[in-house]
Amino acid sequence: MTKSELIEAIAARGELTKARAEMVVNCVFDAMTEALQKGEGIEIRGFGSFTVRPYKPYDGRNPRTGNPVPVPAKRLPFFKVGKELKELVDSSRLHSPPPSSGETGNLSSASTGTDGEG
């Protein structure tokens, strides 16, 4: 499901115009982005929580050349899945094909290659 498919689903189920549904969906993710920008965590009951983890600067390496490269301090967002969603996702294993076989078509086949280690 893409963002535009999510918008269509919200429009249909919420009995809204697509334009209106788009505003709602954008507003939700904008508000979440802003919270994370402030370094604030987000907790959605039954869904999961987002946190921001600060990283100190460190010396990394260019994996291709092996040359050292300085990595500046940065903040990265993390998601921890909630209990309810975690169980829901795991139970989907029993009645749906593995993620790599592609429910939505588009890019899912491209990700198959990276699944090897998984």
Partner 1 sequence: MTKADIVQAVYARLGGFSKKESADLVDLVFETMKETLGRGEKIKISGFGNFVLRDKRARQGRNPQTGSPITITERRVLNFKASQLLKHALNEGMEGQSGATSSSRATATGTAAGAHGAVAAGSGAANSGGHGPHG
Positions touching partner 1 (CB under 8 A) are: 1-3, 6, 9-10, 13-14, 16, 20, 23-37, 40-48, 50, 52, 57, 72-79, 81, 84-86, 88-93, 95-100, 103-104, 107-108, 111, 115, 118
Q: Look at the block and give the residue holding tokens 């009951």.
A: 45
- In the complex with partner 1, which residue's Cβ is closer, 27 or 69? 27
- DSSP state, 114? G
Per the CB < 8 A criterion, the answer to whether 52 and 74 are in contact is no
Closer of 61 and 74 to partner 1 (Cβ): 74
Minimum CB distance to partner 1 smaller for 18 or for 115 = 115
Contact 86, 47 (CB under 8 A): no
- Least distance (Å) from partner 1 to the CB of residue 64? 20
CA distances from 32 to 14, 20, 87 (A): 21, 19, 24
